[in-house]
Amino acid sequence: MSSTLPVRHLLLAVAVVAVWGTNFVVIKLALAQLPPLLLATLRFSFALLPAVFFLKRPAVPWRNLATYGLLIGAGQFGLLFIAMNGHISPGLASLVIQTQVFFTIGMAMRSADERVQPVQWVALMLAAAGLVTIATHTDGSTTRLGLAIVLVAAFCWSCGNMASRRAGRVNMLAYVVWASAFSIPPLLVLSLVIEGPARIATALAEADAVAWGAVLWQSVGNTLFGYAVWGWLLARHPAATITPMALLVPVFGMASSAWWLSEPLPGWKLAAAALVLGGLALNLLWPRVRAAWSRNPPV
């Protein structure tokens, strides 16, 4: 594996995080026509079909696929779409959902019976300060309820990460596609119960090219392109080289929301973003810095 990214690979990585980041604007556009749980159902339906017929099922237990599908489908995206349906702005949603990093690291350390290092406490406090900043500046576009729902969605994402870790080294694209089969049923049932058949029928009948394009952007772009390219890059470069690129997701998310949806970026929002991203960067990059120091101690 090479730790140096060729320009083409770097551009591919940037393309993936750009798709993942701008997807929050796409979600907002889709929610203007489709109710959140129906949108989530369609997202995973198009991620599953027809790709499932071309990708071999990963050699993992069905229970593992079901766990991941439920957590990511009904948990992460179902809750995220509900929150973005009037409770939190796309830019802030793209930022807050990244707190899954802290949940994932915390659960991984607990399962390994490891102690939290001082630098990780600093990183957590930075991110927490950013979240407090958001909570104290809620307005019509972002509410404390929306913030709380996205945090629960981030927790579900981290639990899904733990499930995928237990699956071992698998083709992640195939894993996500097959797991989508378990995301669809609970989302569809919840949509029928909460949103109702009449609203679903009306939304499907009235959805225009923008709505369907948004669904395809999430399923084909976000899932099939994103996971395929990300997995391809991880197979050729160390995770420590590729993973920090994900820090650009909220950057693209907030920038595209400001540009396309005219989401304001006041000083407090930029400060909150700096605190959360600073905490995330410290958590992701500190192991590399520590390893470099151990090889070449500073004089």
Return the exposure string of 254-268: e unless at least 16 CB atoms fall within 10 Å of the residue's CB, then b: bbbbbeeeebeeeee
pLDDT number for residue 297: 58
Q: Which residue has the higher pLDDT, 249 or 108?
A: 249
pLDDT number for residue 77: 94
Structure tokens at 150: 């996205």
Instruction: Indicate the range of 65-74, 109-118, 133-142 predicted with least confidence.
Output: 109-118
pLDDT number for residue 294: 59
Mean pLDDT of 103-129: 74
Strand, coil or helix: 298: coil
Mean pLDDT of 141-162: 89
At residue 107 the predicted structure's pLDDT band, cuts being 50, 70 and 90, is: confident
Burial class (CB in 10 A: 0-12, 13-18, 19+), 83: buried
Instruction: List, for residues 17-44, the tens digit of each pLDDT value.
Output: 899 899 999 999 999 999 999 999 999 9
List helix spans (H) across 136-196: 144-167, 172-190
Considering the chain, what is the average pLDDT of its residues?
85
Q: Is the pLDDT of residue 123 over 80?
A: no
Kindly state the percentage of the chain with pLDDT values over 70.
88
Instruction: List, for residues 215-271, the tens digit of each pLDDT value.
Output: 999 899 888 888 888 878 877 777 666 777 777 888 898 899 989 988 888 888 888
pLDDT number for residue 140: 67
Q: Is the pLDDT of residue 105 over 90?
A: no
In a domain, 234, yes or no: yes
pLDDT number for residue 292: 57
pLDDT number for residue 114: 60
Element (H, E) at 207: none
Q: Is the pLDDT of residue 150 over 80?
A: yes
Residue 87's domain spans which residues?
A: 7-295
**Torsion sign across C-alpha atoms 107, 109, 111, 114:** negative
Q: Which residue has the higher pLDDT, 286 or 54?
A: 54
C-alpha distance from residue 212 to each of 57, 207, 297 (Å): 27, 7, 55
In a domain, 1, yes or no: no
Rounded Cα–Cα distance for residues 86 and 64 (Å): 33
Q: Is the pLDDT of residue 121 over 90?
A: no
Rounded Cα–Cα distance for residues 134 and 269 (Å): 7
In a domain, 290, yes or no: yes
Q: Is the pLDDT of residue 3 over 60?
A: no
In a domain, 2, yes or no: no
Tell me the one-letter amino acid at 188: L
In a domain, 194, yes or no: yes
* Domain total in the chain: 1
Instruction: List, for residues 55-75, the tens digit of each pLDDT value.
Output: 999 999 999 999 999 999 999
Kindly state the percentage of the chain with pLDDT values over 90.
43
